[in-house]
Structure 1
Amino acid sequence: MAIELSTEIAGVDLVPIREISRVTGVNTVTLRAWERRYGLLIPQRTSKGHRLYSRNDIQQVRDIQTWLGRGVAISKVKSLLAEKKADDFIGEIDSVWVSLSAEIHEHINVFHRSRLENSLADVFALYPVEMVADYLLVPLLGRLQGDVIGNVVKRAFFTNVLQEHLQAAIYRQRQAAQGERIILVSVPGNPVYSSNLEALLVNYSCLVHQYRAEYMGHLDLKVAQLCAEALQAKIIVLIGYGPLNTGELQLHLTSWQEKNVIPVVLAGDLALVYPVLGLDESEVMHPCTTMQQVHAAINQLVKE
């Protein structure tokens, strides 16, 4: 995988941790954990002890991300990095996401808050948030969906604990965000399929990439458009899960295309619905079914 550096640091030999975090989308907490706990990174240090990373370090982070995306546990990545290239490896891998899901599900089943909090803290510290969302949390939330009483209670418990964790993480991460402004809006739909948690995950991920992300909650699409314009957003992300009002979506998204003002990233089930709305192809709309796709689209749109 080729290294993609921003123009600001392409000609610089060494960069601080906030820059490698911005370029790769890996939280600074995670980068430090990879260094301290697993020896995956060995940054240089300034006279005051601040970490400095080279282009080789950035490529190393990319390679780590590739292995994690293939389901390798972070504890096993170092030996694989030394032995073989991820692109050339064809062997079977036991997915760490399966074991992590089983661990968290066990804590949910017995309503053990402290163990669930510890598992979530460990997962977010060791793995990129987009992977945590795509491979672990969104599937978990989906399995807890439905009207079965047991699932309703378990989902409510899990939702509360996860929301508290994300809100605290968002507050901490916001201090370093100085990039483009991005507005996130949940599309109104069936309240049983609330997309608040998914939106908080996208919000946190945007902040890790150092974008100035603002989650505005559930808004009518017409109001969302006015909100994005008033806040001078570079991009708006519309997030929808569960049954959606396709008629209303078609009406407002058509209006958005005609105005052609702010790029729109469609996330979640909203991205799956988009092809059946019968809208003309547009450079304004960017449907993304996973969070990794969402941030690839955002990063590309910011460059344009």
Structure 2
Amino acid sequence: MNNIKTSFSIRDLEHLSGIKAHTIRIWEKRYGLLQPERTDTNIRTYGLASLQKLLNIVYLYNDGYKISKIAKIDEAEIPALVNEIQLSKNSDGHIINEFKLAMMNYDQALFMNTYNTLLSNKDFHTIFYDIFIPLLNEMGLLWQTDTITPAQEHFITALIKQKIITNTEKFQQLEPFKTDKVFVLFLPENEIHDIGLLFINHEIIRRGYQTIFLGPAVPLENLAGLMEHFKNVYFISYFTLQPSMDKIEKYVHDFVRIGNNYNNPNLWILGRQVQFLHKERLPKTISVFTSIEQIVAEI
């Protein structure tokens, strides 16, 4: 295993496991479930084995096991018990923890093995909704609390993107059979977070429509050529960090201004930044969505 980060604070464990640091200390003191090392200033630090053990303990605890009972289980038997419960219940919590460990360790093999296990009973778009979306949401919180680094985030998102692209290619081999709409997917300038847009592209193609995927950082003026080329075009964009709060209204109205020279195409938008739009002021050609599921349901 290619270990990069091997030492974790108790706050890291709290953020990764969802169990409060105070509770972890109680489990440690009362039941001896973890054995931290101490720095020269007497601060607890925990290794990867402790992190993995804690994630397994939390899984059993959330499944209804009392912590006093877990403490009596032989440490070597805990992973097997977790796997047995996970297989019998087809539970997603343990799977998400496996992807977290793959992320923390830059462990591509663990990612691939976990993903391939999922494929035995889920198709790809179900895996994305049930596993990857919750994982990505948790990663956002872990990044905000400095529990993971940008490099770890990029590592795991690159692997997820790889799976989206691989599965999208299967449908791109087929001719589109729905012709009432053509979808153009793009991100605004200085926006690079394209994983959600890639999955929306996958879902549109899977439903039989033609898409043109332009990807990150597309100047708004560059869309004019597509407006001229297609008469039934729908644009989709994902505003994660851009346009900024003070520029988003102007951005949307600039799109409408450009579209007025053509066929007034529709723009569908979602992402964190749409909260700063005054939706009641938007032209009817602009539609705001709150989730990937909602926008896919509209297709």
TM beyond 0.5: yes
Question: What does residue 287 of structure 2 align with?
Answer: 286
Shift of 1:237: 0.3
Gaps of 5+ in 1: 1-72, 78-95, 300-304
- Asked whether the 8 Å contact 2:274–2:288 carries over to 1, the reply is yes
- Asked whether the 8 Å contact 1:183–1:237 carries over to 2, the reply is yes
Shift of 1:97: 4.7
Alignment length, in residue pairs?
A: 203
Q: Which amino acid aligns with 1:263?
A: N
Q: Which amino acid aligns with 2:267?
A: V
Provide the C-alpha distance between the structure 2 equivalents of 1:130 and 1:166, rounded to a whole number of angstroms.
9
1:103 lines up with 2:98 in the alignment: yes
Question: What does residue 270 of structure 2 align with?
Answer: 267
Shift of 1:134: 7.6
Question: What does residue 198 of structure 1 align with?
Answer: 196
Report 1 or 2 for greater relative contact order, CA contacts < 8 Å, sequence distance ≥ 6. Answer: 1
1:118 lines up with 2:118 in the alignment: no
- Asked whether the 8 Å contact 1:274–1:287 carries over to 2, the reply is no
Question: What does residue 242 of structure 1 align with?
Answer: 241
Which range moves more in the overlay, 129-138 or 211-220?
129-138
Deviation sequence 1:88-138 (CA, Å, 0-9, x none): xxxxxxxx4544322211221222212212333536626536624884254
Shift of 1:74: 11
Provide the C-alpha distance between the structure 1 equivalents of 2:202 and 2:130, rounded to a whole number of angstroms.
12
Structure 1 residues 184 and 269 mapped into 2: Cα distance closer, same or farther (>3 Å)?
A: same
1:253 lines up with 2:282 in the alignment: no
1:185 lines up with 2:186 in the alignment: yes
Shift of 1:139: 0.9
Provide the C-alpha distance between the structure 1 equivalents of 2:251 and 2:131, rounded to a whole number of angstroms.
28
Structure 1 residues 131 and 140 mapped into 2: Cα distance closer, same or farther (>3 Å)?
A: same
Structure 1 length normalisation: TM-score? 0.56
Alignment partner of 2:211: what SS? strand
Shift of 1:288: 0.8
Gaps of 5+ in 2: 1-85
Question: What does residue 5 of structure 2 align with?
Answer: none
- Asked whether the 8 Å contact 1:185–1:219 carries over to 2, the reply is yes
Alignment partner of 1:161: what SS? helix
- Asked whether the 8 Å contact 2:243–2:251 carries over to 1, the reply is no
- Asked whether the 8 Å contact 1:271–1:287 carries over to 2, the reply is yes
